[in-house]
Amino acid sequence: MTEKNREEMTKVRIAAGTPGKGHELLRRLVGTWDIVGRTWMEGPAGPVSESWGVIETRWLIPGLWIQDEVKTEMMGRPFHGFGITGYDNVKRKYVGVWLDGMSTALLAMEGNLDSTGKTLLLFGTASDPVSGEHDKLLGFITRFRDTDHHVFEIRDYSLSPEGAKTMEIEYTRRK
């Protein structure tokens, strides 16, 4: 390998790890958020379960990766979850992982902002412990209302072609 090739490879690697336009959205999400969650355990026609809690979103690696930590209650039990989100400069997509105390599965997702820049659409697959299904396609949709409010939804595409809403969380920035 020539010195010139090494220099070019170094430039490409540095560019891949440099925050860019895609990372601006992550900056908006950093903060403390009060949340109201709604879950439809029996599908959208079933009863809704509500919960309240707090999500702390902070930089894991400044400018590149954020981490979410949520503490709330779900199904009458304490709930603790942890997520990591970033923007992959090579894929040109948002990527993330999620894990929590109600599952032993690691959920990976990826996607992009819609053309308006106000909705983040991520997709991933998960196993369902209740039905025993593996690799169910799920949608993770964040609708940005303003800098202090957004709504997150989980949609299950095994229940309907348009994705049945199974969870919704309203975020309000704590001042």
- pLDDT score for 132: 85
Query: What are the sequence ranges of the domains in the chain?
Result: 3-173
Give the CA count within 13 Å in the CB-facing half-sphere of 131.
13
- Within 13 Å and on the Cβ side, how many CA atoms surround 137? 9
pLDDT band at 105; cut points 50, 70, 90: confident
pLDDT at 27 over 90: yes
Q: Which CATH number fits domain 3-173: 1.10.510.10, 3.30.565.10, 2.40.128.20, 2.60.40.1180?
A: 2.40.128.20
| Mean residue pLDDT across the chain | 92
Residue 42 has pLDDT above 80, yes or no: no
CB 107 within 8 A of CB 95: no
pTM: 0.90
pLDDT, one tens digit per residue, over 136-157 is 999 999 999 999 999 999 999 9
Contact 134, 150 (CB under 8 A): no
Residues 43-69: tens digit of each pLDDT: 677 889 899 999 999 999 999 999 999
Task: Please count the helices (runs of H) and the strands (runs of E) in the chain.
Answer: 2, 10
Q: Give 73-97 pLDDT, tens digit per residue.
A: 887 889 999 999 999 999 999 999 9
- Report the distance separating Cα 3 and Cα 170, nearest Å: 53
Give the list of residues 6+ apart from residue 70 with CB closer than 8 angstroms, or none. Answer: 35, 53, 54, 55, 56, 79, 80, 81, 82, 100
What is the residue type of 18? T
Average pLDDT over residues 88-107: 94
Q: Is the pLDDT of residue 9 over 80?
A: yes
Share of the chain above pLDDT 90, in %: 69
